[in-house]
Amino acid sequence: MKYILDFDRTLFNSPACYQYITEQKGEFEFTAEALADIEVCQFLYDDVISWLNTKSKADLYILTAISPKYGPSAGDFQREKLFCSQVVDAVKDVVFMEGLKGEPVAEIAKQFPPHEPLVFVDDRIEQCLSVKSAAPEAVCCLMVRDPAVVGEVSEVQGIKIVHCLADVDAIIEEL
C-alpha cells in the first residue's frame, strides 16, 4: 500500500498555525522568516506522528501545493514549514507543485508496481477529483478535520470522507 498525502489541513493545522503567528507577531506573511521562533510541529494534528509510524517510510509520500497567489516567498515558506514539522523524516519523498494534483499523483504512481494499491488523502475536493481522473485506480479520501463541517459533506463520485487518519485505515480494511 502506498500513500500520497497532502500536508496543509490534512496533516498540519495551518489555520491554527497562521492564527498563532498573527497573535505572536502582529501580522502574518508567507515567508520563511514568519516561522522563526515557532515550534511548527505543535501544529501537526494529534494523530499524525503515531499514524505515520505505523507505516513503512518507503510507502509514504507528501504532495503539497505551493500557491503563487501568496507571493514570491510562498514556496520558501511551504518548504520551511514542512521541514520544520518533522514529518519529512517519516516519508520517502516530499513533492512540491502548483495547481491540481492529478498528474503529479499519476507520475508518482508510475514508480510503483501496477498492482500496488494507492491511497490519496487531501482536504480539497477538487484535488481528489483531479486525482480520481488522472489515477482512477487510487483510493481517494477527502479529509474533513473541521468538526463544524463534518456532517455537511458526503461521498462524491467514489471519494471517501475521512475525519482522521484512522478512518483511512478503516477504509483500506474494507477493500
The domain limits of the chain are: 2-11+44-67+87-174
Residue 151 pLDDT: 59
Q: What is the model's pTM? A: 0.93
Do 41 and 84 meet the contact criterion of CB atoms below 8 Å apart?
yes
Q: Which CATH superfamily is domain 2-11+44-67+87-174 in?
A: HAD superfamily/HAD-like (3.40.50.1000)
Residue 72: is it exposed, middle or buried by C-beta count within 10 angstroms (0-12/13-18/19+)? Answer: exposed
Cα separation, 120 vs 149, in Å, equals: 21
Instruction: Kindly give the confidence (pLDDT) of every residue in the chain, 175 residues in length, as a single tens digit, with 9 standing for 90 and above.
Output: 999 999 999 999 999 999 999 999 888 888 899 999 899 999 999 999 999 999 999 999 999 998 877 778 888 999 999 999 989 999 999 999 999 999 999 999 999 998 899 999 999 999 999 999 999 999 999 999 986 765 566 667 789 999 999 999 999 998 7
